[in-house]
Amino acid sequence: MASPNSRLQSEIDELCTTARWCYARGWVPATSGNFSVRAVDGPAERIFITPSGLDKGLVKPTDLLEVDMEGQPVAQLGTSPAKPSAETSLHLVLYRARPEARAILHVHTVWNTLLSARYESASHVPIAGYEILKGLSGVSTHEHVERVPLLQNTQDYLVLSRQMTEALAHYFDAHGVLLSRHGLYTWGQSVAEARRHLEALEFLFEVEGRRLAAGS
C-alpha cells in the first residue's frame, strides 16, 4: 500500500496532468482556472493549489502552492515567487462544506459559460434524463435530476464565499457549482473522481447547450 506521502505525490502529479489536459481542450484559456488537492494525512490539513496567473498548459508539481485551511501560504514546492489566487478562498469553502473532497477542479469552458448565461436568473441549472449522469458519484440511473447551483458572478470573494457555502448546504448532493458567465467548480474524493465529474458535467453542458440553441 502507498504511504501517505507517496499517495499525495501521486495525486499532485495527476492534478497537474489534469490541468494540462484541460488546457489542451481549451477549458482554461488565458491562464484561467485553478486546481487543488487536499492533504489530510499529515500533522495538519493543507491544500496544494495552482498559483495565480500561471499558464495551465505548463503546470508542474513544483509550481503548486501549499496553504493552510485559512488560506495562508505554508511553503512552496518550488522556488518561484508565485502567490495564491483570490479564488483559493472558494476552494477552502468547498473543502469545508464537502469533508470527503480531496481534489477540486475549476474550469472556464465555452459551454459552461453559455449555459450559465442562458440560465442567468435561475438559482440552479437542471439536467435530467441522460445516461452519462451515472458518471456522477452516487447516481445510479439516468432518471435523475442533477441540479447544478448557479451563483451570480462577483469580484467580492467574501460575498461569493458566503453564497457558495449556502448553495452547498442547500444543494447538499450537488456535484458541481456554476458561476454565471465564469465557470464550473467540481470536486471528488480523488483527482480521478473529480475529473470523472468534470467530464460528465461538461459533456452534459455541451449537450444541453446545443439542444437549447437548436430550440428543441
List interacting residues with a copy of itself (CB under 8 A): 26, 29-32, 55, 108, 110, 113-114, 117-118, 129-132, 134-135, 140-143, 153, 155, 179, 181-183, 192, 196-197, 199-200, 202-203, 206-207, 209-216
Q: Measure the CA–CA gap between 105 and 73, rounded to whole angstroms.
A: 20
Least Å distance between CB 125 and a copy of itself?
A: 15
Query: Least CB distance from residue 162 to a copy of itself, whole Å?
Result: 19
Grid cell 448546504 — which residue?
A: 169
Q: Which of 85, 92, 129, 128 is nearest to 108 (CA)?
A: 85
- Closest distance to a copy of itself from the beta carbon of 57 (Å): 9
Nearer to a copy of itself, 83 or 96 (CB): 83
CB of 211 to a copy of itself, least distance (A): 6
Nearer to a copy of itself, 135 or 149 (CB): 135
d(CA 156, CA 211): 33
The rounded distance, in Å, linking the Cα atoms of 177 and 165 is 11
Nearer to a copy of itself, 46 or 135 (CB): 135
**What's the Cα-to-Cα distance from 120 to each of 36, 64, 182, 213, rounded to whole Å?**
28, 33, 11, 15
Cα(72)–Cα(174) distance, rounded to whole angstroms? 28
Which residues lie closer than 8 Å to 159 by C-beta, 6 or more apart?
none
- CB-wise, 47 or 198, nearer to a copy of itself? 198
Sheet of 124-128, strands arranged across? 73-76, 65-68, 46-49, 34-39, 103-107, 183-188, 176-179, 145-151, 124-128
Considering beta carbons, is residue 101 or 193 the nearer one to a copy of itself? 193
Closest distance of CB 215 from a copy of itself, Å = 8
Least distance to a copy of itself from the beta carbon of 113, Å?
5
Nearer to a copy of itself, 69 or 86 (CB): 86
For the chain, give the longest Cα–Cα distance: 55
